[in-house]
Chain A
């Protein structure tokens, strides 16, 4: 018998509608392209080829010790872990890495995810809920956006480089809540170094406003850990801020650390929650053990010396680019440089950027060409190899004046 809830369907009309149903194509995409026209293959570095396309700030991807250690791990643990963390997918190495990260950042506890993107989106969705208000910057990365979309929180945007715009937005909310008994819970989610522009956020000022209004702070540190701060511990060290003042540090392990995965670090209270509520943590196999070991090795490579070298290199490269005449969007301290050509006409600008990109490529210097300009991911070895640096400088200079 049909259940009482089944609505009446007129068979004749149904057949008509079924015959008439003409669904949209699965994807609206007319021109099938070849793989080679979409993807760009990685290049083999040698004396004639300088690769500033891959993120390899500390040169860990070329580190023979790390390769050997990875081999050792594969020969003991195999490649994959064949299970999520809860179901025998936790090796002693995973625990060691979480410990290592917590100590490195001076936090209580850390939790490791098996993919950077998911670490960011899942952790945000674990805390932020529908009734919450989240402040984030307009050009935040897609992972943050996806996490917030999933959380369904009310999102309020401000400008990454402009603390006043944050203050204004907070004031507006405080004003609107003046007569309310129950205030919405509030979060600030901000990239330490903007993925898009390479600008460093003015954290002390944001924290001040956040603390005055009891807003919890999640700091995204993918492009600051291993790079900024006296000993490379990231933005908090850079600004000499005590770790407890942020609720959560979220970061991928894919930039300076040079492996795969991501993590969150914070108080016991904060991290404990993710172990039962981090969607991508619970419902996915754990990070392959050799990549976990690679993270530990990379973190051990981060020292006061590397931090200093990278700082000097970054500043030097920034002035090189400026002197040649490029417009540099990123902070002088950022290890990846976002630069473009000063040109009002957008089309002309794109054309010129493209020409620079191609010229560099033809001369063995590989950069990334993206919608917001050219990107050079610095490599710490440039600090030691004066001729290599000079070569990069010459190519960029010739490319500019071609």
Chain B
């Protein structure tokens, strides 16, 4: 029980859920989850899933690279590292040496320094690109050049306007005018730029109360509490919920803020393979059966409590959590569930209420429902939603309400306005229009990418679209080329992804027009041809796709 469990288990009728039909076609895998046709099994978990009225085809693809691609990726990375070592020998760092620190031990390990100076620096221009506009469906980049291979940058004075496929602006509410911006501006004059205090000591203002009530209504929960930063919502609240003797079961792709919060309080942590329900159940079964480790021989001590921690949409994978199964499992094994909807709130579901809405589930089945406002809401901060007891406890005991500053009023005003629009309280159907446009853009863009022959990961309905490019050097090349073509995208490589899974990530938005998407697709197709990105060996359906005919949220 101490060591991490490897190896996926696929047992039938032995208490394991069996709702997945895995088809292997031509070397790639399609996971289908069709809740209506759950195969007969005496497992409680699958019966519960079978009861969900809704049927949803759950299609996620993970096409593995060919062996050749995998090898090339590895080689190209090592070449980069070797080049790095060489240039470290030949060209000592230009960074000014620390003053007065002779004889001190280095501030950090030499690999970090090497990686930062000789590997990352070569591609540094692909990240941290400064912008000088709202990060809407278009974004204006402030051009810069480097005359010394990435040590320093200078502004050239020119600007590049790009189609923005990078920002987490799912519903297009990153706007510098319109009702949200107006409300934010008004709140500056009503309440100030910040309230200058913590929530429990004079930092709370009327907007916080309004926001928390509205959010509870929107999510369908008893109560909510909001914080000034999404990362801190995880990092500062989770430690107040767990303690040694608790078992936390965490998805391997969970976000850094969740990991921070989980690691702190000294509870036992087990990691399950990404979105692998078999593995999750395996760990749960063992947790119940073996209880806490290191007991005297013959003694059995159950865990104090078990908490499963998952995300709604995984931001690097584009996958969607198999929530109905997770809920069934958590009920069967009496665990608690912590769901981070950072990327999915607003972006998923018929009413924009996240993956809970997408699967037509009851928010009350999730013990701790967390989310952030930095994405779909175009604001900043985070929330936790749940029972009155939980929220009241956090209000009184959370580090984030006692030791960190309250959410500034303009951020709250922006969120309130977005919520009102999503709930139709503004008297228009603008919210519904945005939700549907995002879903349609997502479907359209993903289908077209598959037609082009690119390997994309994740769920068909996920607005986060990773395009696999594998090779480390290709990431930088593509980001640069796309910027030249006026398209802003994000490149992600090692260490944020596994070494051999370098990718370009695209985030779709309700703000994107079909013309913008078509332009981006045309450029992507050209670039893919130029540098050989059409890795996919899946059979392609080349029937032209009519944007307006795409049906969303009608099932």
Residues of A within 8 A of B (CB): 1-7, 9-11, 13-14, 17-18, 20-24, 26-27, 29, 32-33, 35, 38-43, 51, 53-56, 61-62, 66-67, 70-71, 74-83, 85-92, 94-95, 108, 114-118, 121, 126-127, 141-143, 146, 149-150, 183, 185, 214, 216, 244-245, 247, 254, 258-260, 267-270, 272-273, 275-277, 279-280, 282-285, 287-288, 290-291, 294, 366, 368, 370
Contact = CB atoms under 8 A, between A and B. Distances in A.
A149 B8 CA distance: 34
B9 A280 contact: no
B142 interface: yes
Contact of B289 (A17, A92, A127): A17
B249 to A, nearest CB: 13
A173 to B, nearest CB: 14
Given A79-B184, A276-B115, A118 B95 contact: no
Interface string B185-199: 100110111111101
A276 B127 CA distance: 11
Interface string B90-109: 00000111111101110110
A127 B414 CA distance: 36
A32 B288 CA distance: 31
B404 interface: yes
Interface string B73-115: 0000000000000000000000111111101110110001101
B127 A87 contact: yes
A55 B203 CA distance: 10
Contacts of B194: 61, 254, 258-260, 291, 294
B6 to A, nearest CB: 6
Nearest to B181: A74
Contacts of A118: 229, 231-232, 235
Interface residues of B, number: 133
12 contacts: A24-B304, A32-B392, A61-B193, A76-B176, A83-B166, A89-B167, A121-B235, A244-B100, A270-B107, A284-B231, A288-B408, A368-B202
A21 B302 contact: yes
Contact of B404 (A24, A82, A88, A115): A115
Contacts of A6: 5, 7, 9, 282
B196 A56 contact: yes
B128 A86 contact: yes
Given A23-B306, A53-B202, A75 B185 contact: yes
A225 B412 CA distance: 28
Contacts of B410: 70, 74, 79, 288, 290
Given A9-B286, A118-B235, A146-B399, 20 more contacts: A2-B9, A6-B5, A14-B289, A18-B333, A26-B305, A39-B199, A41-B202, A53-B202, A54-B203, A67-B188, A70-B410, A74-B176, A74-B185, A80-B174, A87-B127, A114-B380, A117-B403, A267-B96, A290-B193, A370-B201
A9 B285 contact: yes
Given A6-B9, A247-B107, A282 B392 contact: no
B204 A41 contact: yes
B177 interface: yes
Contacts of B250: none
A80 B197 contact: no
Contacts of A288: 379-380, 408, 410-411
B405 interface: yes
B130 A90 contact: yes
Query: Nearest 6 CB-CB pairs, A to B?
Result: A3-B7, A54-B196, A285-B374, A284-B231, A78-B134, A283-B256
Contacts of A272: 95, 116-117
B288 A18 contact: yes
Contacts of A77: 133-134, 176
A114 B405 CA distance: 11
Interface of B: 1, 5-11, 15, 95-101, 103-105, 107-108, 112-113, 115-117, 120, 127-136, 139, 141-142, 164, 166-169, 174-177, 180-181, 184-185, 188-189, 191-197, 199-206, 209, 228-232, 235-236, 239, 241, 255-257, 260, 263-264, 282, 285-286, 288-291, 300, 302-306, 333-336, 367-368, 372-375, 377-380, 388-390, 392-393, 395-397, 399-401, 403-405, 408, 410-411, 414, 488, 490
A273 B392 CA distance: 39
**Most-contacted residue by chain B among A82, A267, A287 (CB, 10 A):** A82
A85 B255 contact: no
A71 to B, nearest CB: 5
A13 B289 contact: yes
B108 A80 contact: no
A284 B405 contact: no
A92 B132 contact: yes
A146 B135 CA distance: 33
A51 B205 CA distance: 14
A260 B289 CA distance: 47
Contacts of A71: 185, 188
A13 B288 CA distance: 10
Contacts of A245: 100
A159 B434 CA distance: 57
Contact of B97 (A87, A269, A280, A287): A269
A29 B285 CA distance: 29
B133 A273 contact: no
B202 A40 contact: yes
B261 to A, nearest CB: 10
A79 B204 contact: no
B116 A40 contact: no
A283 B5 contact: no
A259 B200 contact: no
B241 to A, nearest CB: 7
B308 to A, nearest CB: 12
B5 A216 contact: no
B204 A127 contact: no
A17 B15 CA distance: 15
